[in-house]
Amino acid sequence: MWQSRPELNTPEGIMALAMAFQRSRTLLTAVDLGVFTALSSLGSDSGEPVASTEVAAKIQADAKATDRLLNALTALGLVRKAHGLFSNTELSELFLVEGREDYLTNLRHSSELYRAWGSLTDAVRKGGCLDEAATPIQDEEWTASFIAAMHRRAFKSAPVEVRKLNLHGVNRLLDVGGGSGVYAMAFAQAKAGVSVTVFDLPPVVRLAEDYIRKAGLSGRVSTRAGDYRSDDLGLAYDLVFFSAVAHINSPEDNKQLMRKAAAALNPGGRIVVLDFIMEPDRVLPERGALFALNMLVNTPAGDTYTEEEIASWLLEAGCRDIERIDTAPGMAMIVGTLPAE
């Protein structure tokens, strides 16, 4: 889904990049207000066009301002306007209406990120996010939105990625910071008989249990509530898996986390770190370079890291064999294996 930047060959190109926020904010505001869902329900799910005043009443917003918003959405190609009445396009009806199977749940999280990115200038001046509690994990609505976004992002890719790993000899597996359990469920489906545990904070575990139950995997995937920063990870696992966890932490915290993971493994066990993998100059992949700024405004010490950095943490934790398995562009699994004895 990631698109690289257009070539910047002219002043107009630079200005187009500078003003791109107008389009994204228009879309995200419509999502925040439930505009597409309102258009669908008012049109009785049949695409019947409705007046902007009806939409304004439905979303409890100002009528004139709602009309402006609908006009802008029409200009962007997300809404149709005919004879002064509005309706969703087929694309919006499919992906932007809450309750639809293909609804883009991650847009809610994108709107939260948009607000956080407003502090980027000050974060660069300060050298970190303005509020060390920038990730409000105790806020139930924020947490549910974030987990839904992460689940959707990995729902299709997780089964493909876990099958890149050799699971021979893996009987017990721990998914640290496992979120919705999307990877844990993929592991359970990839190998019969494997015992998989999702380890995450209590509010997240409660959400994971619901995702696991809905997938019909409650008997094969368990959960354990805890904080990987302060709690031990347990014992006698054959594989400890980290997806999108390393970038949340500082290098020192990641070193400590890899040591905890190693202590939780059987001899010959493996640690797998799935994340953005930066080139040595930290410019590419572009998505990783921008995500480093995302961590600057959203976490106390998060960053994106190179293969060499991640490998060094695994080696310090006692791993001997280090392997890279590429997954998506700019992303890979770095795998460290402990000695068999």
* Contact assessment for residue 76 and residue 27, using Cβ atoms and an 8 Å cutoff: yes
Helix, coil or strand: residue 241: strand
Shared domain for 178 and 273, answered yes or no, is yes
Shared domain for 150 and 277, answered yes or no, is yes
Shared domain for 198 and 277, answered yes or no, is yes
User: Could you tell me the CA-to-CA distances from 82 to 48, 51, 53, 85 in Å, in that order?
Assistant: 11, 10, 15, 5
Rounded to two decimals, the pTM is 0.91
Q: Residue 288 falls within a domain, yes or no?
A: yes
What pLDDT shows up at residue 3? 58
Shared domain for 170 and 314, answered yes or no, is yes
Helix, coil or strand: residue 253: helix
User: Could you tell me the CA-to-CA distances from 321 to 169, 268, 311, 316, 340 in Å, in that order?
Assistant: 17, 10, 10, 12, 11
Task: Name the residue range of residue 59's domain.
Answer: 11-97
Helix, coil or strand: residue 139: coil
Q: Which CATH number does the domain housing residue 93 bear?
A: 1.10.10.10
Shared domain for 58 and 170, answered yes or no, is no
Q: Residue 170 falls within a domain, yes or no?
A: yes
- What Rg do the C-alpha atoms of the chain give, in angstroms? 22
Q: Which CATH number does the domain housing residue 187 bear?
A: 3.40.50.150
Measured from the Cβ of residue 278, the count of other Cβ atoms closer than 10 Å reads: 23
Shared domain for 20 and 157, answered yes or no, is no
Shared domain for 157 and 69, answered yes or no, is no
Q: Residue 118 falls within a domain, yes or no?
A: no
- Residue where one domain finishes, among candidates 75, 97, 119: 97
What pLDDT shows up at residue 288? 98
Shared domain for 179 and 300, answered yes or no, is yes
Q: Residue 6 falls within a domain, yes or no?
A: no
Whether 83 is catalytic: no
- Residue where one domain finishes, among candidates 66, 97, 128: 97
Q: Residue 5 falls within a domain, yes or no?
A: no
* Contact assessment for residue 149 and residue 105, using Cβ atoms and an 8 Å cutoff: yes
Shared domain for 79 and 148, answered yes or no, is no
What pLDDT shows up at residue 133? 42
Q: Residue 1 falls within a domain, yes or no?
A: no
Report the residue count for the chain. 341
Burial of 76 (0-12, 13-18, 19+ CB in 10 A): middle
Shared domain for 87 and 169, answered yes or no, is no
Q: Rounded to whole angstroms, how far apart are CA atoms 83 and 75?
A: 15
Number of domains composing the chain: 2
Q: Judging by DSSP bridges, how do beta strands 172-176 and 195-200 pair with one another?
A: parallel
Catalytic residue among 83, 109, 168, 247: 247
What pLDDT shows up at residue 55? 98
- Residue where one domain finishes, among candidates 65, 97, 129: 97
Q: Residue 124 falls within a domain, yes or no?
A: no
The torsion angles phi and psi of 238, rounded to 5 degrees, stand at -100, -20
> Please, what are the averages of pLDDT over each run of 10 residues along the chain (341 residues)?
68 93 98 98 83 98 99 99 97 96 91 93 92 60 89 94 97 98 98 97 97 96 97 98 98 98 98 98 97 96 98 98 96 98 80
Q: Residue 178 falls within a domain, yes or no?
A: yes
Shared domain for 196 and 88, answered yes or no, is no
Ranges of beta strands (E only) in the chain are 79-82, 85-88, 172-176, 195-200, 221-225, 237-243, 265-278, 305-306, 321-326, 331-337
Q: Which two tokens stand for residue 341?
A: 């004895």
Per-position DSSP letters for 1-26, written without gaps between them? ---PPPP--SHHHHHHHHTTHHHHHH
Shared domain for 298 and 209, answered yes or no, is yes
